Structure 1
Amino acid sequence: MEDAFGTLLKGLPVFMAHSAVSLLILLVGVIVYLKMTRHDEMALIREGNTAAALSLGGAIVGLALPLAFSLAASITLWDLVFWGVVALVLQIIAFRIVDLVLKGVSDRIEAGEVATAVFLVSIKLATAAVNAAAISG
């Protein structure tokens, strides 16, 4: 029992630091994503727009997946920062490309088109899964 407690005390600061840095990187990524979108997803969600909620939820999970794999593969805090930022930049670029390819996606989300949101979420999550696997090597 003492060994387990000692391990906990030794590992807890590392766990807390890695968790805090990961959540901070995720928060920054979500803020960047929200600034990137043409529509105000938070306002749409407050109005009850399900398509906007799906789109933003998919983006958040899509940003978190590669970040989680970066966290799992990192050895040091600097590894996490480097690969976490790389993962988020790649995801945001991928999201932007999808938004450009799917013409009028913002108008469709604003209109509450759930089908468009589900398709968008699917692409974001598929991209996140591929990027997460690439990061973990």
Structure 2
Amino acid sequence: MDASSLNDLLSSPEVQAFASGFPVMVLHLGVTLGLLILGALIYALLTPWREIALIRDGNPAAAVAFAGVLLGLAIPLAVSLSVSTSVRDVALWGVATLVLQLLAFRIVDLILTGLPQRIQDGEISAAVLLVGAKLATALILSAALTG
């Protein structure tokens, strides 16, 4: 490839669009991943059981339940990211999504009484039910975000 061909390639609209869009995409991704981590930390602090400690102790029900939390947070954050147009938009919709989803998770935890103890006891069936409820709220919230 000679210098002229390389110059033509580098000045092509596709390469220019990538060069200007890639840093923005990385910034949006970083903000969204930060919100996911923040949401998971807040959820871990709000729950009546300590999933991370249970997971470290080998409790599969806690691992399934926490995986559902991560997916339940990630789904509406992903939709929020897809409908946002700026970093400010990503942050605002992301925070709104987290607040609503954490509230919905707390309501699910209250409705499904007795599950914390069952998860602590390692009951996979309780964890699967909890994951299903949290994913259902994530999907409904995601649909609401898209209008």
TM-score normalized by the length of structure 2: 0.90
C-alpha offsets along residues 81-101 of structure 1, whole Å, 9 cap, x if unaligned?
A: 111111111110011011111
Stretches of structure 1 that go unaligned for 5 or more consecutive residues are: none
Stretches of structure 2 that go unaligned for 5 or more consecutive residues are: 1-8
2:82 is matched by which residue type in structure 1?
A
Shift of 1:3: 2.3
Shift of 1:47: 1.4
1:64 is matched by which residue type in structure 2?
A
Ranked by relative contact order (alpha carbons within 8 Å, sequence separation 6 or more), the top structure is 1
Distance 1:103 1:24 in 2: 31
1:116 is matched by which residue type in structure 2?
A
- Matched pairs, number: 137
TM-score normalized by the length of structure 1: 0.97
C-alpha offsets along residues 35-90 of structure 1, whole Å, 9 cap, x if unaligned?
A: 01111101111111111001000000000100000000001111111111111111
In the other structure, the counterpart of 2:6 is none
RMSD in angstroms over aligned alpha carbons?
Answer: 0.9
Structure 1 runs (4+) greater than 6 angstroms displaced:
none
In the other structure, the counterpart of 1:25 is 35
Query: If you compute each CA radius of gyration, which structure gives the higher value, 1 or 2?
Result: 2
| Percent identity of paired positions between Structure 1 and Structure 2 | 46
Equivalent residues in 2 for 1:100-119 (5 A)? 100-119=110-129
In the other structure, the counterpart of 1:84 is 94
